[in-house]
Amino acid sequence: MSLQELLATPPAIVAAGVDVFSDALRAQGAEVHDVDWRPPAFGDPADLAALALDARRAAANRTAVERVLAAGSQLVDVQPARAVLDLPDRMLLHAGPPIEWADASGPMRGALIGACLFEGWADTAEEAERILAAGEIALDPCHHHSAVGPMAGVTSPSMWMWCLQDPVGGGRAFCNLNEGLGKVLRYGAYGPEVIERLHWMADVLGPVLAAAVRTPLEAGVDPIDVKAILAQMLQMGDEGHNRNRAGSAITLRELAPALAEVDAPAKAISAVLRFIGGNEHFFLNLGMPTAKLAMDAARGVPGSTMVTVMARNGTEFGIQTAGTGDRWFTGPAQTPVGLFLGDYGPDDANPDIGDSAITETYGVGGFSMAAAPAIVRFVGGTVPDALATTERMYQVTLAENPAMAIPILGFRGSPTGIDVLKVARTGWLPQINTGMAGAVAGTGQVGAGLVQPPQECFEKALAALAEETRAA
């Protein structure tokens, strides 16, 4: 249709929104077609109104954000889990919200079996399954012990832990050591090579790292600033979740002088250096507790609608908020969409699993994909998708973290502090990039991709926050 023809015909008016606009046009004799469209919000309108009108909310969220941004992260020790987590001998920690053996997915079961074999509680996989099914091994979330674990996140008493401390608030957070990629325990593999590697990590890697961390501290050297490494990573092409190349290299540089001075056989030191240098995800297990420290600093702020935990156990996805303390709000875990290794495909992937979404909760990982456009080659999508994802996450967060600057966005701070109310109002769920574990126990990693929490988590959190508001 030409412009002349367009202007020669009566205008067609389509209105969406409040009726006052349509009524005004009709009063002038115009024909109006109303469209019943609303923003894609969710949640009970009464709950949304209760939170929106809560007089405490602005100040509470400001307090929570200030605590998150102020928190630091220093590497202060490396110790066995039984020493720092007060872990009973027959307890295993796992990623995500609480779960029982009967409800555990394939990779979670595989990791639990492997941990039993590693600890010597069972001699065969079948025996491990039997004692786990009988409830002879207690299961508890890592988050209940100020800890986090990637993927299955299974942590046993003999595993060595990074010990990080917040010099501002004094909080502590812990994470086991990263095994590398491929067939590893955290992806549910438990073959002989997996158990052999875990024993080497317990017998050699852990003690050597412990000496390398403690000796400089005892000599008065300042502890390694892990938060500063995370900030530097974002300016070097990492996003802190699925891409940790720069962070792992920086960590190796920081540890190398002390490692060279450890009183251990040269062969052991060489093996440790080779292991760290060949593991591009080595830093992930330092970045996660750094995020955990920051988010834990915001716990217990009445009236705050900020999310403090996002975690998955392979069956359920769970979140916690600053205003509701340790309560979990759960929904069914979704299966990531992305790229697969070898001949694996969508049918081989388990639903989302791992505590590593604490990085997104802090504002890095999927929230900072704009800082690491190369990540799309690993998780799928395009560079514009990565930029658009970060821009969208600004709409559901409370602040920008000036310490986590994103170069391509003019060094704008990463979007930090997920707001339950903003998520509900926009209908935009947080974006997570993640590895994918095989659905069958023992498989290992099958790919990597993108995933979001189920809306149900935020609906439950919204209702609970509104209930707390009315009771205040």
Q: Give pLDDT tens digits for 334-379.
A: 999 999 999 999 999 999 999 999 999 999 999 999 999 888 887 8
Instruction: Give the span between the Cα atoms of 134 and 121, in whole angstroms.
Output: 13
pLDDT band for 140, please (50, 70, 90 cuts): very high
Q: Average pLDDT in the 405-412 region?
A: 96
Q: Look at 21 and 128; give whichever has higher pLDDT.
A: 128
Structure tokens at 24: 């005004």
Q: Outline where 324-404 has alpha helix (H).
A: 358-362, 376-379, 383-393
- Sign of the Cα pseudo-torsion (459, 460, 464, 470, in order): positive
Residues 6+ apart with CB under 8 A from 316: 96, 97, 99, 330, 331, 332, 333
Q: Look at 306 and 182; give whichever has higher pLDDT.
A: 306
pTM of the shown model: 0.91
At 447 the pLDDT is 92
Q: Look at 40 and 42; give whichever has higher pLDDT.
A: 42
pLDDT band for 78, please (50, 70, 90 cuts): very high
Domains and CATH numbers, the chain: 3-35 (no CATH), 45-59+300-471 (3.90.1700.10), 69-288 (3.90.1710.10)
Burial class (CB in 10 A: 0-12, 13-18, 19+), 106: buried
pLDDT band for 380, please (50, 70, 90 cuts): confident
pLDDT band for 22, please (50, 70, 90 cuts): low
The single residue listed with the structure tokens 């250096």 is 273
- Sign of the Cα pseudo-torsion (217, 219, 220, 222, in order): negative
Strand partners, 313: 353
pLDDT band for 118, please (50, 70, 90 cuts): very high
At 21 the pLDDT is 59
- Cβ atoms within 10 Å of 267's Cβ, excluding its own: 9
pLDDT surpasses 90 at 176:
yes
pLDDT band for 25, please (50, 70, 90 cuts): low
- What is the pLDDT of the chain when averaged over all its residues? 93
At 98 the pLDDT is 98
At 24 the pLDDT is 64
Q: Average pLDDT in the 82-110 region?
A: 96
pLDDT surpasses 80 at 455:
yes
At 382 the pLDDT is 87
Q: Outline where 100-141 has alpha helix (H).
A: 106-119, 125-133
Residues 6+ apart with CB under 8 A from 467: none
Instruction: Give the span between the Cα atoms of 328 and 99, in whole angstroms.
Output: 12
